[in-house]
Chain A
Amino acid sequence: MSSLMHQGRATYAFFERNWNLTKRYWAWEIVWLVYNIVNAMSVTYIGASASLITGTPINTNYLILYLLIGTSVWSYLSVTFEGVTDMITIERWEGTIEHTFMAPISRFTHLIGSCWYAVAHGLLFTFIQLIVVGAFFHLDLSHANYLTAVFMLLVGSISFIGFGIGASILPLLYTERGSQMSYIVRAILLLVSGVYYPIQVLPGWMQPLARISPATYVLDGLRAGLLNNQVFWSAEIWSYTWPLIITGIVSVPLGIYIFRIAERYAKRTGKLKRNG
């Protein structure tokens, strides 16, 4: 019981610490939010201009929403991923990495504690982005089921956390540019998951990658909820949910296991230290 209480306190310590850091770096948070919104608008304008570009009438509202969902998920994935991989980068930069790694807590507590703030942060960013961009295009959201949207993002988050923990070994092992190296994981997810297009347009050899990417199912579920008003207990949404549950069950323990191996390697080679 005492141990559970301890791990609970430690988990909250990471959340509180990250919230305090967010408050102190508020200017950066605004810049990052504006960047995401501008990025989303740039992509969404492609949908708005599709009729003009092709010279054929198309359902612009549908296309804009399709792209907006893609860019929102991409933004959510980026913010969450950034939060997860940053747990190593920021600590190395601030010089606290050694102190955190010698604290008497399990690595599971450390990683999950850091991740749940990233998820909350990502959800808030995505919500603000959706509101701002949605208002800009006067979208018809009468068919949108927001509950399904939140449900899909939360279920998908478990897998994103697993992938993020796996990717965070890069800044652990590569002290100089490890954080930037983790971008490759995000880039591959962007390419294969159908963020801006249906995965059917991908070459045949890429399709299996799309099938194991959790982002594919999150996007499909979100589109079904926001474009077609599917409730989250419907059969269609379930068909996107169960692969996410399986991916989550596999990716989180696997991510933590890989992280432990990397940590042990870092402790053997002396890489577990601050910069400079």
Chain B
Amino acid sequence: MAVQNLNQTSLLEDVVIDPTKDAVVIDGVSKVFTMDNGAENFTWPDGGNTPFAGGKGTALEGCFRVPALLRWPGRKPKEEKKREVRAVDNVNMVVKRREIMGILGANGSGKSTLIRILSTLLIPDTGHVSIFGYDVEKDERMVQKLINRVSVEASFFKKLSPMENLIYAARLYNMPAQEARTKIRTILGRLGIPGDRIGQPLENMSRGMQQKVAIARAFLTAPIVLLLDEPTTGLDPRSKIDVQNFVERLREEHDATILITTHDMDEAEALCDRVAIIDKGRIVAMGTVNELKQAVAERTERTTPVTMNEVFMHYTASHLITDADIERYGSWEKAFEAYEAQREDEEE
């Protein structure tokens, strides 16, 4: 296949890209968040979410607690103070140019945190991330020229129309408005957005249509690396297929490298060259869909075909089920059930 010129937009005129380099290199990246216990959005001076001092105790004890408002501000019982959440834990990954890499994980597994680090919105505690050799922290502006992102919620000024929102984005990415207007109409048309809706406020559009406008925005700026954070979550099946087709077209027409997070196993199977499964911030498996299926089939001694759902469940169970576990419990299913029961007990 002919290699297209990567520096095809005015934005990238002064950017030197070595196409032989890996598109994305994630090297030992970790991120820990410090959070307040109790209510996330609001805490009384004692750190609890009631006007009484925090801490565990009986109802009677609660009655005799000193109201937090009468306490010296900032004093908190030890157990009420900050807790740490390891969102991303020593992640290593290399994504080749023109590859579509899927990142699969449950809610809260660290997928979005990883995407935000790649998007220059979050600084990792340890490790390095580079896009075509440019470090996301040191060469932030350069990386920003190479990437774009579509998040699970279409992030727009909802009172403005798709055209107004996309012209705004085009100008930020150094595209003349005249050129952008033509492109916007073409791209939105290809995504099935009727012409008469392009000038109407986005708030009057369905979620699926809004998400298509978000995809159009990413396509408009022709990113070299596209980060898709659950782009099809909540979309109807037809919209999902439209978006998936568009992602594939982006790779074909713009030579884009794509990272996509999802919990839709069918989507991962349909789109991704390789997938990485992330659980509690750690990459627990990585490979092509077939490689992962085969690995699980061998480990569970299955003769019938293994589905991606089963692959996902296998790797995101409370423990990685090893050969020793299978020997100990008699079968893979029994080991899985035992560990799930154990996890439920621990959570209670």
Contact = CB atoms under 8 A, between A and B. Distances in A.
Interface of A: 2-3, 5-6, 9-10, 12-13, 16-17, 20-21, 24-25, 94-96, 98-106, 176, 264, 267-270, 272-274
Given A25-B159, A95-B153, A270-B122, 13 more contacts: A5-B174, A13-B167, A17-B160, A21-B160, A95-B156, A96-B156, A98-B116, A98-B149, A104-B174, A106-B141, A176-B42, A270-B113, A273-B121
A250 to B, nearest CB: 26
Contact of A270 (B33, B156, B167): B33
Given A6-B11, A272-B121, A274-B155, A13 B164 contact: no
Counting chain B CB atoms within 10 Å of each CB, which of A6, A10, A25, A100 scores highest? A6
Nearest to B33: A270
Given A21-B160, A176-B41, A94 B141 contact: no
A169 to B, nearest CB: 17
Nearest to B142: A104
Q: Is the interface of B mostly helix, strand, loop or mixed?
A: loop
Contacts of A264: 123
Contact of B14 (A2, A16, A25, A106): A2
Nearest to A265: B123
Interface residues of B, number: 39
B345 interface: no
A20 B201 CA distance: 11
Contacts of A268: 122-123
Contacts of A9: 171-172, 174-176
B143 to A, nearest CB: 8
Counting chain B CB atoms within 10 Å of each CB, which of A99, A264, A274 scores highest? A99
B164 to A, nearest CB: 5
A10 B171 contact: yes
Nearest to B164: A20
Nearest to B137: A267
B42 A17 contact: no
28 contacts: A2-B13, A3-B14, A6-B11, A12-B171, A13-B171, A16-B168, A20-B160, A20-B164, A21-B157, A21-B159, A25-B159, A94-B158, A99-B149, A99-B155, A99-B169, A100-B172, A102-B120, A102-B121, A103-B172, A103-B173, A104-B173, A104-B174, A176-B42, A267-B123, A268-B123, A269-B33, A270-B33, A270-B113
A214 B122 CA distance: 36
Contacts of B172: 9-10, 13, 100, 103-105
Contacts of A100: 172
Interface in B131-177: 141, 144-145, 147, 149, 151, 153, 155-160, 164, 167-169, 171-176
B144 A103 contact: yes
